[in-house]
């Protein structure tokens, strides 16, 4: 090579030295690349953390304001703030081991924002709502004791204080649903949560609506609350009122409703839907079957037999077709088949001889002669297991399956789990 007009010759280095030099260079380069990567990760984290900190601060401020004004952080409030969460790879950055110390060294506001990000809004909001609930139960104890003739129970009071956008309360007959509705309207006025003219109590029939209106009048006025502007209506009346206000013409009731033919009209509608929609037909038939009888507990399908079969001299459960079957599950299947016009026979002798030293002649639960298909209903749960007290039952299931496989006959299977969730009837309809 030329250097200042002079020719310079560089001597090489030994191979051993060259390998050491290459290793040193590679190590230094890798260390530099890692340093640059970590610096970039820190920078990316700082930028993302700033956005998350701002989001968290705004959320905390909005939550405090909402709690003070409305008293309950609603589902819509949570969804609104979840949609405002900053986009990006913040989760990935939080799991970056190389900047763990950098993250731990952040100030309290950033760490609080990180905690909120990791925990999710649902946990924070649930804790705040529970705290609000406990405070309100204590602060309004006297109110809850006086708002109805009898003091509200703890469950009723909790249902009253919970002011989410949609609240479902499941209660049995006589458990105080009307009292809870009246108390909730009173509580909304007592805490200035909703103006009286925006409160509507709905009932299914006219008598219940009248009772609600009277109870509102009788209970709210002595407490100094504006019960006069709280409305109580039936769903029917409310619907007619909305249509009248929206269109300027309040519609008349359907003639069949005025003439007391509502049940007949309903059945005509059902028949039309069944004819037009096979899925609806299946679900309706299932509804009809289940409505008339309770489903037995697992392992109790044969308990408490109701009927006697004179021909077979056996007790069991009579089907719509007239035979007596051994279990309630079999009766449900037989009734479904009858509803759908499927021809079947119960416990018909299997077409092949299966008797041996350990087995009697096999008679499957159902046989469909039109297509020569057999059907067994097994007492199995969703995991394919029988009740624990059914010793040897699973062996019988395996033997029956093997028998059909050996002789090449078609076997349909339903289970008790399938009856519980309705999939058994979908399966039968498909097959």
The half-sphere exposure of 161 on its side-chain side, counting CA atoms within 13 A, is: 24
Counting residues of the chain whose pLDDT is more than 70, the rounded percentage is 94
Q: What is the pLDDT of residues 179-209, one digit of tens each?
A: 999 999 999 999 999 999 999 999 988 888 9
- In this prediction, residue 353 carries a pLDDT of 94
Of 3-17, 70-84, 92-106, 327-341, minimum mean pLDDT range: 3-17
- In this prediction, residue 103 carries a pLDDT of 85
The residues, any chain, with a CB within 8 Å of residue 353's CB and separated by 6 or more, are: 361
Report the alpha-carbon distance of residue 117 to residue 91 in Å, rounded.
Answer: 9
Of 110-119, 147-156, 291-300, minimum mean pLDDT range: 291-300
Report the alpha-carbon distance of residue 19 to residue 26 in Å, rounded.
Answer: 11
The residues, any chain, with a CB within 8 Å of residue 111's CB and separated by 6 or more, are: none
| Among 228, 225, 198, 223, residue whose Cα is nearest residue 213 | 228
- In this prediction, residue 3 carries a pLDDT of 61
- DSSP per-residue codes, 12-78: P--HHHHHHHHHHHHHHHHHHHHHHHHHHHHHHHHHHHHHHHHHHHHHHHHHHHHHHHHSS--HHHH
* Beta carbons of 337 and 311 less than 8 angstroms apart: no
Of 148-152, 216-220, 277-281, minimum mean pLDDT range: 277-281
Q: What is the pLDDT of residues 403-430, one digit of tens each?
A: 999 999 999 999 998 988 878 888 998 8
Kindly report the number of other CB atoms within 10 A of residue 196's CB atom: 17
Q: Is residue 289's pLDDT more than 90?
A: no
User: Is 90 in a helix, a strand, or coil?
Assistant: helix
| Among 246, 245, 220, residue whose Cα is nearest residue 232 | 220
Distances, alpha carbon 333 to alpha carbons 314, 317, 320, 387, 397, in Å: 19, 12, 11, 20, 18
Average pLDDT over the chain reads 87
* pTM for the structure as a whole: 0.57
- In this prediction, residue 286 carries a pLDDT of 67
Of 72-81, 156-165, 276-285, minimum mean pLDDT range: 276-285
Q: Is residue 290's pLDDT more than 60?
A: no
The residues, any chain, with a CB within 8 Å of residue 172's CB and separated by 6 or more, are: none
- In this prediction, residue 292 carries a pLDDT of 60
Please compute the mean of the pLDDT values over residues 34-55 and round it to a whole number: 87
Q: Is residue 291's pLDDT more than 60?
A: no
Per-residue pLDDT band for 10 (boundaries 50, 70, 90) equals low
């Amino acid at each position: 090579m030329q250097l200042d007009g002079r020719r310079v010759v560089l001597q090489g280095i030994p191979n051993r030295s060259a390998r050491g030099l290459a290793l040193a260079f590679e190590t230094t380069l890798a260390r530099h690349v890692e340093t640059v990567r970590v610096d970039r990760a820190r920078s990316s984290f700082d930028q993302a953390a700033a956005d998350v900190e701002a989001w968290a601060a705004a959320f905390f401020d909005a939550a405090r304001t909402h709690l003070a004004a409305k008293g309950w952080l609603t589902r819509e409030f949570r969804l609104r703030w979840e949609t405002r969460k900053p986009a990006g790879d913040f989760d990935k950055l939080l799991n970056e081991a190389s900047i763990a110390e950098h993250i731990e060294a952040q100030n309290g506001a950033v760490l609080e924002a990180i905690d909120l990000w990791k925990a999710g809004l649902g946990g924070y909001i649930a804790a705040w709502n529970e705290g609000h609930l406990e405070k309100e139960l204590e602060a309004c104890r006297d109110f809850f004791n006086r708002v109805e003739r009898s003091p509200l129970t703890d469950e009723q009071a909790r249902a009253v204080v919970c002011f989410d956008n949609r609240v479902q309360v499941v209660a049995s007959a006589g458990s105080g649903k009307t009292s809870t509705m009246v108390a909730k309207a009173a509580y909304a006025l007592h805490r200035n949560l909703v103006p009286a003219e925006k409160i509507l109590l709905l009932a299914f029939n006219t008598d219940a609506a009248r009772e609600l209106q009277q109870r509102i009048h009788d209970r709210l006025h002595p407490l100094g609350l504006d019960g006069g502007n709280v409305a109580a209506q039936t769903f029917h009346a409310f619907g007619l009122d909305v249509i009248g206000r929206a269109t300027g013409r309040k519609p008349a009731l359907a003639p069949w409703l005025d003439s007391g033919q509502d049940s007949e009209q309903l059945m005509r509608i059902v028949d039309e839907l069944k004819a037009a929609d096979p899925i609806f037909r299946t679900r309706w038939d299932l509804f009809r079957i289940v409505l008339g009888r309770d489903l037995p507990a697992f392992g109790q399908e044969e308990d408490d037999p109701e009927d006697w079969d004179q021909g077979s001299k056996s007790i069991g459960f009579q089907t719509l077709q007239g035979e007596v079957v051994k279990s309630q599950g079999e009766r449900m299947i037989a009734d479904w088949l009858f509803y759908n016009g499927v021809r079947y026979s119960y416990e018909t002798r299997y077409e092949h001889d299966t008797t041996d030293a350990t087995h009697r002649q096999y008679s499957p639960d159902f046989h469909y002669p039109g297509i020569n298909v057999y059907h067994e209903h097994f007492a199995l749960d969703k995991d394919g297991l029988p009740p624990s007290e059914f010793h040897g039952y699973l062996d019988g299931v395996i033997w029956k399956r093997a028998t059909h496989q050996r002789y090449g006959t078609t076997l349909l299977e339903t289970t008790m789990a399938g009856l519980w969730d309705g999939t058994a009837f979908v399966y039968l309809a498909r097959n």
